[in-house]
Amino acid sequence: MAFLRAVWRFVMGVKDVLVLCFLLLFFIGLYGALSFTGGERPVKSHSGALVLDLDGVVVEQPDEVDPAELLFSSEAPTRQYRLRDIVQALEAAANDNDVKAIVLDLDGFMGGGQVALSRIGEALDRVRAVKKPVIAYATIYEGDSYQLAAHASEIWVNPLGGVLLAGPGGSSLYYKGLIDKLGINTHIYRVGTYKSAVEPFMRSDQSPEARDARQALADILWQNWQDEVKKARPQVALASYTQNPVAVAEAANGDMSTAAQAAKLVDKVGNRTAFESRIAEISGEAKDSGGPDFASIPFDDYVRKTEHKADGAIGVLTVAGEIVDGDGGSGMAGGDRIADQLRQALDEKDLKALVVRVDSPGGSVTASEQIREAILTAKTKGLPVVTSMGNVAASGGYWISTASDRILAEPSTITGSIGVFGIIPSFEGMLDKIGVNADGVKTTPLSGEPDLAGGLSDDFNRIMQLGVEDTYRRFLNYVGKARNMPPEKVDEIAQGRVWAGGTARQLGLVDQFGGIEDAIAEAAKLAKLDPAKAKPYYIEPKPDPFTQFLTELMTPKSARVRGKDILARHAARQQAQLKQIMADMQMLASSGSVQAYCLECRAHVPTSANISRTDGDTGIATWLTAILERK
C-alpha cells in the first residue's frame, strides 16, 4: 500500500507540474500577443448609464502588481481605482450625449480618503449641473461611501441595509503589556512631544498630548465632512441621526433603511432589481446579456475612450504610500524608484515645471531625503516646483515637500507631524526566560553593538538619541528655509504634531488651498506659461498590458464583494485589525532606519499596504505569532 500511495503522489505531482507549465505557457503567449498589439482593446461606443462600480479603494496611484503574485496568490487582489481616472471620466461624461446618467454602485466600496472623495464629489456636482441624473446604490452606507452618495441626485438603499455614520475616531493598539510579557526591551529614540508613532511600543495607552492632538484633528475632519454633506443635501437630519443613533434605531424598531429614509439620508428603499429598473427608465433596457438590466457603459472602457494624452510640459510626480528605502514593494513609495523616475524624466523630457503630488504618511528619512534631493535636481535645472497634498502629506511626506516653491493642500488634508524616531528591540529578557544568556568581549565601547541578545549599551543608546536629535534639527532647518521661518518658530508648531490642512495654512505650513489641477495651474504660472493651456506629463511607469489583463482576470466581482451587511463589514474590520497587529510587530522588528513617519495618519492613505505589509522580513512577526498561539 505504501508503494502505491507513493506512486500515486508521484503521478499527481507530475500532473500538477504539467498543468502549471501549461498555464505559464498560455500566459506567456497571451503576454506576447498583448505586447504585440500594444495591449489596446476595442472600446464599444454606445449610449447608456456610466457605471462606477467601485468594488475596492480609490487611490492616487494604483500599486504595481507582481504578475507572479497574481498567478499564485490564494486571495483575489483588492481593486484600486485611480482618482484622476474617475475625475476624468466624470468630467467627460458631463458633456457626452451618450451618457444618460451616472450610476454609483457602492456595495463593495472600501474607501478613498476624505480629500480624494471631495474631489470626486465636485466632479459629480458638475454632472448634476448639466441636468444628468446621478443615482447611488448600496446595502450599507458608511462615512466614505455616503460622502460620495451625498452628491447623487437620488440615493437608494437596500431594505436590509441602512446608513451607519460613525465619524472619525476609534481605538489604536498598544503593545507595552505584550512586550513586557515577552521580555522584549524596546529602545526608542525620538524627538517631538506629539510624535506618537512610537507610543504603541512604549505605553499601554495614548499620552495626554497624543489624545489632545488626535481629538483636535478628528473634530476638524468630522466638521469638514458634515459641511460637505450638508451642502450637497441640505435636507438631511444629520445631527440627530449621528448624535443619538440608539434612539434612531429604537424608533425604527431596528429597520435602519427606513430610519435613513426618515432622516432624508436616502431617497428610495429598494432591492437591486428595483434599482436597476429605475436606471432602465433613464438609460433604456440592456442590449447585451450578462450585465445589469439597463443600457450601461463600463467604467474601464469609458476611461480608455476618454483618456487624454498626458504629454504636456508640467511634470507630475506622485509619491503615494509609505516611503521606504530601495524600490519599495506594492503600495510603497520606494526612494530609489521615485528618484530614478524623476531624473529620467528630467533627462528625456523638455519639462518646464514640476508638480509633486504627495499622499503619504512618511517613512524612512533616508528615502525621503533621496526624493527631496531628486526634486532639488529639477530646481537646479530652473524648473519651479509645486507640491500638491492629497489625503495625507505628513512626516516624511512633509520632508519632501520642503523642496517646493509653493505648497497646496485641502482643508481636510492631514499634514505636519514634523518629528523623527527610531526603534531597536533587544531580546535579553526573552532569552533569560528560557535560560539563554549572552556574554563576550569588547575592544571599543561600541563592539558588538547593537547587541540584540545581551542588551544595548548606554553609549550606543546615547549616540542613537543624538543622531535622531540631529535629524530633527535638520528637518526644522529644511522647513524653516522653505517656509521663511526661524527654526525656533518651526519647533513650536512641529514636535510631531499632526495638523489639518486648514490649520496648517494658518500656521504657514501651507500656502493655499487647492487640488492637483490648481497645483498644475500654479506651476504653469511660475514657469510663465498660460495655465489654461498647460498640460501634465505624469512621471510614472507605463502599465504592463499582461499585468492589467491578469488583474482583471484574477479579480472577479464575486471575489471582490464579500458580505455586504453591517456584520460582514465588522468581520472585515476584525481581519484588518489582526493584520495590523502583524504589521506593527514587523515595524518593531524591521524599521531599520530613522523614521519620519505618522502612525495615526496611515489609515487615511487607502492602499493595500496599509492593511497588510508584505515586503521585508516577516520572520519576527511569524515567530511572535507562534509564541502567542502557544500561550
- Show which residues are catalytic: 195, 395
Contact 104, 134 (CB under 8 A): yes
Q: How far apart are CA 386 and CA 114, in angstroms?
A: 22
Contact 195, 419 (CB under 8 A): yes
C-alpha cell at 311: 504629454
C-alpha cell at 365: 528619512
Contact 617, 443 (CB under 8 A): no
Q: How far apart are CA 485 and CA 487, in angstroms?
A: 6
Helix axes 299-306, 83-94, angle to 10 degrees: 80
b/e code 495-507 from CB counts within 10 Å (16+ = b) = bbbbbbbbbbbeb
DSSP character at residue 96: -
Q: How far apart are CA 514 and CA 267, in angstroms?
A: 32
How are the residues of the chain apportioned to helix, strand and coil, as percentages rounded to the nearest 5? Answer: 50, 20, 35
Task: Tell me the sheet residues that pair with 50.
Answer: 102, 297
Q: How far apart are CA 184 and CA 506, in angstroms?
A: 43
DSSP per-residue letters across 469-493: HHHHHHHHHHHHHHHT--HHHHHHH
DSSP per-residue letters across 415-470: EE---EEEEEEE-HHHHHHTT-------SSTTTT-S-TTT---HHHHHHHHHHHHH
Residues 6 or more apart whose Cβ sits within 8 Å of residue 133: 100, 101, 102, 153, 154, 282
DSSP per-residue letters across 160-203: EEEE----S-------HHHHHHHT-EEEEEEE-TT-GGGGGGT-
Dihedral of CA 166/169/171/175: which sign? positive
Residues 6 or more apart whose Cβ sits within 8 Å of residue 343: 374, 377
Contact 123, 87 (CB under 8 A): yes
- Total Cβ atoms within 10 A of residue 107: 19
Task: Tell me the sheet residues that pair with 188.
Answer: 423
